Amino acid sequence: MLADQEYDGHTSVHDGDTAEKLGLTGAPIEGPTHFSQFDPIGYARWGDRWFGEGCISAHFQTMVIEGETVIASAESSEGDTDESEAVRIDAAKADGTPVLTGTISVGDATTELAARLAKAQSRDPGDLFIVDQVTVGPLPADDRRVSVDVDSSNGNLYPFSLAQKLASITEPSAWYSSGDNPWGRAILPFEMYSVLAHKIGTALPVRGPAVGLFIDLEVRALGEPLFVGEEYVLEREVVAVGQSRQVESHWVDTTVRRADTGAAAAKVLLHSGVFKASYADYPADRLD
């Protein structure tokens, strides 16, 4: 659904030609798609509380091409009554290739990305050439209101509507399209939390053009789900920058607040990477 994704005036890794240039076997689907596979698992364990206080925290391991089969799994809850503990999750392709690993939880349990972020914050990022202008700290306040309604496209980053997503979602639910649920209003699937949180982008001074990808993503509901058509405002902070062998990266923590009251409704933590080899001015002697 991201074949037409565009940012900074160019196509993304989800475009077939761009993916081929990077040596990928095909254009990958968007990582948050896999989050819907864990909603039935979370609901089976925690009931309604899952959609009101649930958290999915995942490290993406392997890209998935449209049409590939992915199997989601979680540790058994049999005999485990401690709801304060996170539950280990994994997803893998049919041949066993790992897709993601992480945790699901409710409330204030320690998540997969808590440790990964702490590790990133403790490291010296070294010499950076793409995210070198990105500084850790709060981003400028932005009072623009954002929402996800049924029929509107969600911008250049997410060029599809909620209706289009629900027509192809892996694990459909009537709760996403009607008020026949405990909250009396249609709720957003967890995989759409990052869509809402990034509708207006972050305007970070990342050098380019260059091609990016999601490395880690955590979404958390803070007492109630995010609602279809509800207006929210975003409060964002860069919490780390760094690099690995192939990418430079940054972590952005977004608090989603209700536009009418200012109350925090959700948190979205995204670790985004940029392929070093996709940036034309990257020093050749720094590329593997």
The answer to whether the CB of 176 falls within 8 A of the CB of 166 is yes
Copy the structure tokens of residue 110.
């320690």
Quick one: pLDDT at residue 83?
A: 72
DSSP state of 276: G
- Over range 105-120, report the average pLDDT: 95
Instruction: State the pTM of this model.
Output: 0.90
Question: Is the predicted pLDDT of residue 182 greater than 90, yes or no?
Answer: yes
Q: Where are the alpha helices (DSSP H) in 133-242?
A: 162-168, 193-197
Q: How far apart are CA 154 and CA 32, in angstroms?
A: 15
Q: How far apart are CA 155 and CA 43, in angstroms?
A: 30
Quick one: pLDDT at residue 14?
A: 45
Residue 185: pLDDT band with limits 50, 70, 90: very high
Q: b/e for 250-264, b at 16 or more Cβ within 10 A?
A: bbbbbbbbbeeeeee
At 117, give phi and psi (nearest 5°).
Answer: -65, -45
Residue 170: pLDDT band with limits 50, 70, 90: confident
β 232-243/264-275 pair status: unpaired
Q: How far apart are CA 188 and CA 169, in angstroms?
A: 12
Domains and CATH numbers, the chain: 25-286 (3.10.129.10)
Nearest C-alpha neighbor of 194 from the set 158, 165, 225? 158
Copy the structure tokens of residue 70.
């992915």
Q: How far apart are CA 164 and CA 185, in angstroms?
A: 19
